[in-house]
Amino acid sequence: MLVQNFPFFSIVLAMFSGILSSVLNGKQARNVSLGVIGSTIIMSAAVFFWCLGNGESYTYMMGHFPAPWGNEIRAGVLEGLTALLFSVIMLLSVLGGMRHTFEDVEPSKVNLFFIMIDLMLSSLLALIYTNDLFTAYVFVEINTIAGCGLIMIRQKGRSFSAAIRYMIMSQLGSGLFLIGLTLLYDVTGHLLMSPAKETVASIEAAGRYEIPMLVILAVISVGLAIKSGLYPFHSWIPYTYGYATPTASAILSGLVSKGYIFLLMKIFYRVLGQENVIASRMVNVLFLFGLAGMIMGSVHAILEEDTRRMIAYSSVAQIGYIYMGIGLGTESGMVAAVFHMFTHSATKALLFISAVGLYEVSGEKKDFRSLRGAGYRNRLAGVGFTVGALSMVGFPMLSGFISKLLFATSALQSPHKMMLTLIGLAVSTVLNAIYFLRLVITLYGRAEQVAVKGKQRCSFVFGGAIVCFILLNLFLGLMSQPVVRAITEGLEMFD
């Protein structure tokens, strides 16, 4: 089938367009990028619907080397869906932050920026589709490099130090991940997921290598947790998201960290075996870290005055939600976590992009108080931000509500963690409300001195991106049923 080739095509297409862009100028590179992302959307959609229609996943051999030597790609419902959503969000982020991209980046380096976007896309797709741990590692590194590039390309103020921080923490994470991989290879002798899982199962059945297996689990989890910014390892997040160019912030916070989480889930399900993970106490650790992240991220955000850093800290909290869902150790908890991954991607990107729109009309100051009245000056961005904020707070009809609901209902199935989860959810909602709604009120408060530095009309592209984001949010909030069903089906296909 042609469709079965699409995952591979999309990865390779993104990669080669990056190479191609290096010889193009900025505008052309942009067009190429957009084209690639657009085609990725189509291809991912095709893969998703094909898998959904057939009700099965498939593995795709690269070249003609079968396992255990070859390199494999695996595509199922969940992979297709994730790839689809990620590429949609990527497209919207790029479009929404377009003008800023051209302002922030030196004209001669614009094509570099789009190279990084292409590489980022391809590495994300690879992380999603791969069935091979080593490929995963390679793309983790590519992803890191692309990420650094995206942060650094702004070349202003603190973006260097932000990039360096990101680099160091990311390397720490990938290092740990690599160690985990090595150990796993030592124990099982496989790098492909499916055979590795069989070996792990037999090892577990025999009851050998208990400690090494635990170490592997811990090291991989922690490594990926660092990279996705779980609470105690979150220190790089506010810098990175706070000082990069908007598109980069949106992509980094919305997609990159989710890519790692997706990888972690995939490893849990497809290599280590979900039941083994639950049996070890690792889930509890993740649960507690997640819970702590939910609360502490929000507390930090409340204390923060710089809007974008505030949103960044909110990401810490939201990632905490996801890990909490994973940590519940139930099927429905995992569904909730995946759904929240989508929610957060869509919402956080929306927040970053609309925040940009608001900045533009308020004199580009950092302090959130300078945004007073911005909601009147750029109405669409104001609405976008409000919708995003409400979604994060868990307002019904928006996607955040559904994730909250899923978390809460799944918490009921694990009696020991139930109360903690529920109280955590409620408290974190209150905290979310405090900083997000403070901002929303500021947006609609009376501006003392109207800082209309060029009351530009928001561009058509920007407006379109915001509208699409809002619609995406509403879609996830109102039509969640099919999405959740697809996620459940996809998770079942993992086994």
Residues binding another protein (CB under 8 A): 379, 390, 393-397, 402, 404-405, 408-409, 412, 418-419, 422, 425-427, 429-430, 433-434, 437-438, 440-441, 444-446, 477-478, 480-481, 484
The tokens for 83 are: 């790839």
How many Cα atoms occupy the beta-carbon half-sphere of 163 within 13 Å? 19
Minimum CB distance to another protein, residue 198 (Å): 36
- How many angstroms separate the CA atoms of 425 and 412, rounded? 13
- In angstroms, rounded to a whole number, what is the distance separating the alpha carbons of residues 228 and 474? 26
Calculated CA dihedral for residues 327, 134, 233, 366, nearest 10 degrees: -110
**Contact (CB, 8 A) for 293 and 313:** no
Instruction: Compute the half-sphere exposure of residue 261: CA atoms within 13 Å on the CB side of its CA.
Output: 31
Amino acid of residue 104:
D
CB of 430 to another protein, least distance (A): 4
Dihedral of alpha carbons 142, 147, 150, 151, sign:
negative
Least Å distance, CB 324 to another protein, is 15
Q: What's the min distance (Å) between Cβ of 434 and another protein?
A: 5
User: What residues have CB less than 8 Å from 28, skipping those under 6 apart?
Assistant: 21, 111
Q: Report d(CA 365, CA 193) in Å as an integer.
A: 48
Q: Count the alpha carbons within 13 Å of 12 in the hemisphere toward its beta carbon.
A: 7
Contact assessment for residue 115 and residue 14, using Cβ atoms and an 8 Å cutoff:
no
Residues 128 and 11: their CA atoms lie apart, in Å, by 10
Min CB(400)–another protein separation in Å: 11
Q: Of the two residues 279 and 471, which places its CB atom closer to another protein in the complex? A: 471
**Closest-CA residue to 144 (of 110, 178, 191):** 178
CA dihedral 333, 225, 78, 240 (to 10 degrees): 120
For residue 148, the number of C-alpha atoms closer than 13 Å in the C-beta half-sphere is: 16
| For another protein, the closer CB: 153 or 487 | 487
Beta bridge partners of 59: 74
The nearer residue to another protein, 26 or 400, going by C-beta atoms, is 400
* CB 271 within 8 Å of CB 224: no
Cα-based distances in Å from 319 to 230, 236, 237, 465: 6, 14, 11, 24
Q: Please, what is the minimum distance in Å from the beta carbon of residue 437 to another protein?
A: 4
How near is the Cβ of 436 to another protein at its closest, in Å? 9
Residue 483 Cβ vs another protein, minimum distance, rounded to whole Å: 10
State the minimum distance, in angstroms, from the CB of residue 334 to another protein. 17
**Residue number with CB closer to another protein (44 or 428):** 428
- Let me know: does 323 contact 286? Beta carbons within 8 Å: yes
Q: Tokens 């922690």 belong to which residue?
A: 222
Least spacing, CB of residue 342 vs another protein, in Å: 14
Q: Measured from the CB of residue 131, what is the shortest distance to another protein in angstroms?
A: 32
- Tell me: cis bond preceding 68? Omega within 30 of 0 counts: yes
d(C-alpha 212, C-alpha 192), whole Å: 19
Residue 490 C-beta: closest distance to another protein, Å: 18
